[in-house]
Structure 1
């Protein structure tokens, strides 16, 4: 496989256009953005920088397709057939898609293959199979009245997705929205658009009707704002930062009160008790739970809470694992940690490390930029010993930096875990079944792992509480975001 990856990594990438109404088109003002690879800092290609006029074209195409009914009114079996075909095409081109995405955002290849095309294909297949199995209800009304509850597609869905796992997170939104019969306008992150533009071509090849799926690339402050303010978008689904999420809610209030669903990241606690069943495994899994994809994971276990009696020994295990992880060229299959997505993000990560030192944090390993001679953006996996009051314990870094925080009792662990504005993911390591269940109930988070970190398929939802957002991706519950309920009250 490495030979195939090496061949694909050098293929030229043509300048990319917008995908609107089933065809490729240039932005109205001809504006483009450069695509720079985080692997070596070289220019890969350009993408279109869509303005408000381009967004309006995409929304009008989506609305026309929805009103025409070629998809929205198609038989569930027909939608199912095309969604399954999309999954097949993603699997057919999986290696090409993965390499394209890695060149764009720097995720290590071994992870990207599974997490990007692998996950996206599984997601399209899951919702394809759900299409003809989710339907309305008959209400238990009086004998002379028939109450029917219909599920209907909402209309036009806008999806704005981040740069860390564009295909995986994109599929979490695109697939259920399409399965429900909606039309979609997708905006990828400007630093990770290439694999989703390729997905648009695959959707067309699969037979998705023109205008049902559209892709507009560009800057968040322009393209994203135009989507947020558009009067003819019914639902907007977003994964990204809290600051942008707040603006999208404001745009909804200023426009047509479109429903806005937000997944806004986290500062997830990973809690290790002294009675964890296997401390060596807990250390290894915890390291991967923060350092995979250079820490650029929404559910990353960035706060490691360790019971005092094992704190020093566990920290030593973890530091040794981190120091031994191979950081480097993400297109080499042996690489365990790839590149930080951009120079801007790398500077933010390094600034957090400097701030932790200034606030009195104890650096256990890492903390520096490395491989600068490659031209790429690489950082050592970094571990700090800190207190809960420090900035590093409160703010989402989105980089390869782990904070170790001590605790003594179960109650103290819960208090520290919940002392966050976020509530996306968490984990508990313990051999005590009763404690595990108590912690699941006590921790305010959308996901609680027990004796593991990460890993869940499409059968269960992903969503957060507090400032980690609202609504859920994955599982049948995701369909709730993209359907309306309509009551029919019939006098017999």
Structure 2
């Protein structure tokens, strides 16, 4: 097995304890690499390195244009290394090689985009109402940013944090998920090659309950950017609040994919399949609830089941595989538990519904693509995030009922609408409580467009112009130009 080291202060180091843990290949069900198991002392080292780098002339003294040039250099190196990193991601988290290739090839655009924004950060001159005073604002970096990322799209979700944070002039301590740390450590080598000063990007690996709290609550961490489950996100929010840290939280979802009777049915079928069975349902934006207009309900379900049955399940490293394994053993158990919960509550399984044991699945952690009908909006399968290839289909009679069902969860990350009516498309996009609404498409994202949630799905936005503001703080500067200090006992 390959043994990795952490990146702290520009050096590849072991943990102070010397401990490691094994990371497993979800397709083979076997360990393939040893990852450093960091402790609180290692977090302290990483934060100290990031803090020193933030103050050092080699980073703080760079012009904004020079920072942007570093990010663009990194983007070019990433593009050259995309294939190798995609293969490591697939080995470590079981995502399809086709999807990982697409992500890695697209990912450099974030660094080019935010590299271009680095020297477009501008303050304002305010025509202040006080005579004899000049007032302007500055946009300044926050300091050390803690970036905590999940296992489902490790490098992409890290990029959504790293690119704007670095463009704004911050330094970073990145903790990837313990289930997908190998690709993060390989990724870290590119920052060295691009010429980033030591300590600007640091990577510590280990378990959330052992180092996560220390990182979030560290007095020298200025901001926390977290992607993960909403319960863990709540804990991160509470910890950060104790030291009044700003946070960006991208959390869970229970997104509704809504199909109206005027939709192009075959396109809608593909969209619903994309929403739940692509990425094996292990995505925060999974369209895990299909809301289907009653007049087309039976026909739609029939077409959907027939199409989903053709999905090729198996080795994620093969180009033609369409459904890969569940990434972690605990998540496999969770998905299977939710399937049994759905059955016990009266939902009827019309496809899948069990662990996949086909020969092409080997010893991997697979769940069959699963579809439930006879689902009521109040059922747990329709309210709670499963994070697996499990779809709940719910009929609706009217547009008002569709909106009520779609908005009737604690989440508000995304939604899909399938219709040929522009009036309905615009109306639904306004009424749905979701940070992203797709119409006649699903799972589209871009470095140019903001992404984030309503309600319990999160706080703040990633990507687009909005994202860089999450990593800046505004300062107001007042300068007397009158040469005359007025009455010191009266507020000016």
The TM-score with structure 1 as length reference comes to: 0.95
Q: Does residue 1:409 correspond to 2:398, yes or no? A: yes
Q: Give per-residue Cα distances to partners, 1:222-278, cap 9 Å, x unaligned.
A: 111111121110000000011111111222234x222122111200011110011x1
In structure 1, the residue matched to 2:271 is 285
Q: C-alpha separation between the residues in 2 aligned to 1:69 and 1:300?
A: 44
Q: C-alpha separation between the residues in 2 aligned to 1:69 and 1:271?
A: 53
Query: What pairs up with 1:66-465 in 2 under 5 angstroms?
Result: 66-115=54-103, 117-142=104-129, 144-254=132-242, 256-276=243-263, 278-371=264-357, 374-385=362-373, 386-465=375-454
In structure 2, the residue matched to 1:3 is none
In structure 2, the residue matched to 1:7 is none
Q: C-alpha separation between the residues in 1 aligned to 2:123 and 2:323?
A: 46
How well do the aligned residues superpose, as a CA RMSD in angstroms? 1.2
In structure 1, the residue matched to 2:456 is 467
Per-residue deviation at 1:72? 2.8
Per-residue deviation at 1:111? 0.8
Contact 1:148 1:489 in 2 (8 A): yes
Name the SS for the 1:185 alignment partner.
strand
Contact 1:293 1:339 in 2 (8 A): no
Q: C-alpha separation between the residues in 2 aligned to 1:310 and 1:179?
A: 49
Name the SS for the 2:340 alignment partner.
helix
Q: Give per-residue Cα distances to partners, 1:403-462, cap 9 Å, x unaligned.
A: 100000000000001100000000111122111111111110101111111212111100
Q: Does residue 1:27 correspond to 2:15, yes or no? A: yes
The aligned length equals 477
Which has the greater radius of gyration? 2
Q: C-alpha separation between the residues in 1 aligned to 2:364 and 2:177?
A: 19
Q: Give per-residue Cα distances to partners, 1:291-328, cap 9 Å, x unaligned.
A: 11110011111110000000111011111111110011
Relative to structure 1, the CA distance from residue 298 to residue 466 in structure 2 (aligned partners, 3 Å threshold; closer, same or farther) is same
Structure 2, unpaired ranges of 5+: 482-492
Q: Give per-residue Cα distances to partners, 1:5-59, cap 9 Å, x unaligned.
A: xxxxxxxx62111110001111111111111100111211110111000000000
Contact 1:328 1:371 in 2 (8 A): no
Contact 1:72 1:181 in 2 (8 A): yes
Contact 2:274 2:443 in 1 (8 A): no
Q: C-alpha separation between the residues in 1 aligned to 2:160 and 2:57?
A: 23
Q: C-alpha separation between the residues in 1 aligned to 2:109 and 2:409?
A: 33
Structure 1 residue ranges, 4+ long, deviating more than 6 angstroms after superposition = none
Q: Give per-residue Cα distances to partners, 1:371-407, cap 9 Å, x unaligned.
A: 3761111111111011111110000000000110000
In structure 2, the residue matched to 1:477 is 466
In structure 1, the residue matched to 2:489 is none
Name the SS for the 1:378 alignment partner.
coil
Name the SS for the 1:70 alignment partner.
helix
